[in-house]
Every structure is written in structure tokens, then in C-alpha cells.
Structure 1
Amino acid sequence: MNPVGVHALVWAGDLTPKSVARIVTESKRAGYDFIELSLHDLTDFDQDGLRELLVAEKMGVSCSRGLAFDADVSSEDPVVVARGVQLLEESLQVASRIGAKYLCGGLYSAFGKYQQPVSAQGRRNVVDSLKRVADRAAQYDITLGLEIVNRYESNVVNTTEQALEILEQVGSPQLKVHLDIYHMNIEEADFYSPVLACGDKLGYVHIGENHRGYLGSGHLDFSSFFHALAHINYQGPIAFESFSSAVVSRGLSVDLSIWRNLWSDGFDLASHARRFIDGHLQASRKQGA
């Protein structure tokens, strides 16, 4: 079975030692194999303490992040691009220090709505930057996941086709596609064909409902998506994402536009999601067999 993880924002909105302890212990209690940490704010983050706790609890970890408009590798300004590369390389250092093997997310542009399409020069800067970052990732034995996000969060990678084009141009085995069913619901024609298009280039998966609340309470066709994963024999990580105004993260909650209180009991939410994901994985594998 795939390793299944849960985003830290289900439990806490910061990375203080107290919050980190809760994130790890509650994730394990809810049945997860790993936690996903956003690296957007490292204030009060005890990296060595987290690694020790993960080892003690036999839990894994992955990392995710987006870039900022003043550190954007899709910019035409070489100074801004350089800051973006530096931010990604620093994130790799953090990921390596806490024992993560995956750094995923919008690694190719700022997180936010652009007022125009990416320029040809900006796209060349993305490819050149990712080549450099992928070389550094290889030194840490970390896989980079290009998360395909919707048009309101980037103007660079909104579809599987666009992500695969960048993978081909970068040409690094460290670079994989990161599919998120929430974003696929906005930008893709269906939930099946993008998975097949990725094939062995799929490296990371996000599972979340169309409104980002309880899985199964919205309208997404999870069955089709999980059957596609089974069809390509995807064995990589699957991380559950859900956001509510009940758990606030400085900066990230605003970036994600988390205005509604979709749930207040993180443990009930996460436990339900683990059962939901396991059920779909088992059903799709059996049907595939």
C-alpha cells in the first residue's frame, strides 16, 4: 500500500515545539505514515527536535512550499529569480535536516494570482532554475514534486501537460509530477487521463475535497482517480489536505483563502480521511486485480 500522510495544518498553524509534538503524535494516532509540513514560515521551528520525534514515533515527513513574488523563478528579473532559487535551496536544506525525501508544491512561481500569462523568458528561467535546484536535490537524495495548481495560484503550471513539458525540458530524474485532485477539479477535463499521462513520472499525490472539507462530502469523483492510480501501479506517497478557519496559519491561511470553518475536530476529520483513502485504495486494487 502507498504511504499515506496528512498535512500539518489539520492540527496546528505553526511549528513551535508544542505544535510539532501535537502534529506528529496526533497524525500517528489517526493512523498516518507521515506528516507534510509547509516550509512557508520556519519561526520557532526546532528542526533537530522534530527529527528526533519522528524517529521515536517511527513517522515519516515530507515538505511543501510555494514561492513569493519577490522570490519568483518565473520572473524576468534575474535578481528575483536568484532569490527564488536560494529559497528553494534553503528549503532543501531544511527538508534534508528533518529527514524528508520529498519537497513538493509550486516550486516554479510565486503563490498567487498573476495579471498576465508567463512570458517566454520567465518560462526559460523556470526551467533553468529547476535544473539547478534538481542538481542540489540529487545531492540530498530528495525528490522534487511539481504540484499542478489552478490558474488563481500560478500562471506557469495549471495542467498535467504543462508539468510534463517542464519535466522533459529539465531532464532530471529528481523531478516528478505532483497531482492534487482539488486543482484537477478546476483545470483538468477528468480525473483519469492525467494520471495515465503521468505514468511513472507521477511522484506525489494530494487528496482533498472540492471545498477542502471532509472527504466524500463534496462532488469529486474519487473512484475514477484512485482507479487511475491503480492502473499505473502508483506506489508513491498520498497526502490528505483539508483546511478550516478553525486552524489558522500566519500567511498560509490567507494565501489559501481559508475563510470558512469547515470542521473543528481535526482528529475526527483525519481519522475519517484515513479510512476513506484506505477504502478507495483497497477497492481500486481489487478491481484492478
Structure 2
Amino acid sequence: MIQSCVTIALVPQIKSGPWIFWEDLESSMAQAASLGFDAIELFTAEASSIDTSHLEKLLAQYSLKLAAVGSGAGKVIQGLTLTDPNHVIRSQAISFIQSMMDFGAHFGAVTIIGSMQGNAMPDRREESLTHLQEALEYLGAHAEQLGVPLIYEPLNRYETNLFNTLGAGRTFLEGLSTRHIQLLADLFHMNIEEVDIAQSIRENGSWIGHVHLADSNRRPMGMGHTSMKEIAEALIQVDYQGAISAEAFPWPNPLGAAKQTMLAFNQHFEK
């Protein structure tokens, strides 16, 4: 069953980002539960930022699941990426992501590699791709041990020069030996890069392990010009069974953005 999910960011350094809820974990979870969300997606400074037992109690109290954890703080706070030319930094990036995977897997949650993928160095793209390949092979093997897939997110051209579409990301993942890495279909990035979002979902559906929900302007779905009807139909056609997580600006405010997200979700997906 497709799950409705909402983002909660607990990292002050990324407060200007596209996250629905901020700062207070429990009050955010309480609001999410009151609106009918099935799950949450967490952004923390590091894996140890939240006590596991405390989170377990909150999830049980509010009848929520932890669907995903983001790793972006590794880049924002520590400057770590998987394609950094410095092997020490790459090793630290791998360790950071691995720790997030361990934390998330305890709850059956996937870990997302977005900004921590980094960028290809000018005139040294193949070298950068080799670094990425080596890192993903290692992390994919760890995902297999954990029993929870790792999620790789193609970003738009303004955020990375690696892979910008689902098709490009899929081609790269197909070249790896690991089969425990899936793709994130982020509708905001896809609005910029894909020729046809729904068709791309149909073509790459078997590789999609997580979805980020945002309209063309990165406000909550229904506040831009994205044609969600066709996208929802495509996700249903490929039998997507994961979370659809609102990674959008909290416009006009967090509660209003969450309400609009649930309105859009309920309009296009049967609960």
C-alpha cells in the first residue's frame, strides 16, 4: 500500500530547505498523526542525534512509521561527499551514510543519498564516477546485510552534474554488482529534467524505492502547475508500494503545507 509521508527536519543549518515540519520532533509527529499521515521522513545532524528508544516510543504513541532518513547533513555540516577527490573525505562520507543506514534500518527505514553524492570534477568525470561506483558498491553490500535498500536520488542540473534523470540513474545502477540500491523519484527535480514525468516513472518503475512529493515551484502539491493526475496513475500502474513523502517548502506555514499535502494525497491515492 502506498503510504503518505511528511518530512521533519531537525538540523538548524538546513532550515531554509524544502521540509514541512521543523525543530520539535514530538509536536511535528503529533500534527502529522492528527492529519492522517502514515509515516515520517527524518533529517538529523547525524545518526546519534535521536535516541532510538525515544523515537520508538513516539512512533508507537502516534501510530506512525519511519519511512526514510536523509543524509544531507553530512554535506551541509561536514562537507562530505562520495565523489570528493580526497580519499579521506570519501571514506568519512561512506562512514556517515553507513551510520545513517544502521539507524534507519532499525525501523525498517530507507536511507537517502541526495546531496552527498557530490559532483564530478571538471575534466575528470570518469574518475568521479569511479569514486561513486566504489562507494555505492560498498554501501549496497551493507544494505543487503541490513535487509533495507539504499536510495539514490537523481538531482537537477543545478545541484549535481552526475545523473539528473531516473533513466540516467538507472543506467548507472544497472552497471553495479549490487542490487540493493533503488531510485528516488523526486517530482520537483523531475519537473526540471524529465521530458515526461509519468512516462519516466512507467519506464523505471521497478527501480523506484521512494518518492518525494512537491509541486513545480517546490510548494506543496496542488500549489504549482504539476499535473499530478498522470503521475499518480503511473505510480499505480507500476505497482509502487512505498512512501510518497512531502519534501516541499512549508508554505504558507508548516501546518498549512501539511494539510495541503494530505488533500493532494487523498485526491490521487486511495487510502
- Report the TM-score when normalising by structure 1: 0.81
Amino acid at match of 1:29: S
Cross-structure match for 1:252: none
Q: Separation in 1 of the partners of 2:53 and 2:124?
A: 39
What's the CA shift string for 1:108-161, capped at 9, x where partnerless? 623xx8784761011011111111111112222222111121112122121112
**C-alpha deviations, 1:60-92, integer Å up to 9, x for none?**
112112352842211233222111111111111
**Structural RMSD (CA):** 2.3
- Secondary structure of residue in 1 paired with 2:69: strand
Whichever residue aligns with residue 248 of structure 2, its letter is S
Residues 1:31 and 2:46 aligned together: no
Partner SS, residue 173 of structure 2: helix
Measured at CA, do residues 118 and 157 of structure 1 come closer, stay the same or move farther in structure 2, by a change above 3 Å? farther
* SS of corresponding position for 1:155: coil
Find the counterpart in structure 2 of residue 255 from structure 1.
none
Report the Cα distance in structure 2 between the residues aligned to 1:81 and 1:105, rounded to whole angstroms.
14
The yes-or-no answer on 1:243 pairing with 2:249 is: yes
Q: 1:2 to 1:158 in 2, by over 3 A?
A: same
CA distance in 1, matches of 2:42, 2:226: 25
- 1:161-194 Cα offsets, whole Å, 9 max, x none, are 2210221122323211110110001111111221
Distance 2:49 2:79 in 1: 23
Distance 1:243 1:21 in 2: 20
Query: Counterpart of 1:259?
Result: none
User: Residue 4 of structure 2 corresponds to which residue in structure 1?
Assistant: 4
Counterpart Cα distance in 1 of 2:186 and 2:207: 14
Alignment equivalent of 1:91, drawn from 100, 104, 113: 100
Counterpart residue number, 1:279? 267
- Ranges in structure 2 where 5+ consecutive residues have no aligned partner: 9-18
Structure 1, unmatched stretches of 5+, are: 245-261
1:263 aligned residue: 252
Counterpart selection for 1:22 from 3, 6, 27: 27
1:81 to 66, 90, 101: 90
Q: Which of 161, 164, 168 pairs up with 1:155? A: 161
Say whether the 8 Å CA contact 2:213–2:244 is kept in structure 1. yes
Q: Could you tell me how far apart the structure 1 residues matched to 2:199 and 2:123 are?
A: 25
Q: Distance in 1 between matches of 2:200 and 2:82?
A: 25
Deviation at 1:274, TM superposition (A): 1.1
Q: Using a 3 Å threshold, how does the CA distance of structure 1 residues 70 and 170 change in structure 2: closer, same or farther?
A: same
CA distance in 2, matches of 1:94, 1:105: 14
Instruction: State the one-letter code of the partner of 1:10.
Output: I
Q: For the Cα contact (< 8 Å) 1:114–1:152, is it kept in 2?
A: no
Fraction of identical pairs, as percent:
21
What TM-score, normalized by structure 2, do the two folds share?
0.86
**Partner of 2:175: helix, strand, or coil?**
helix
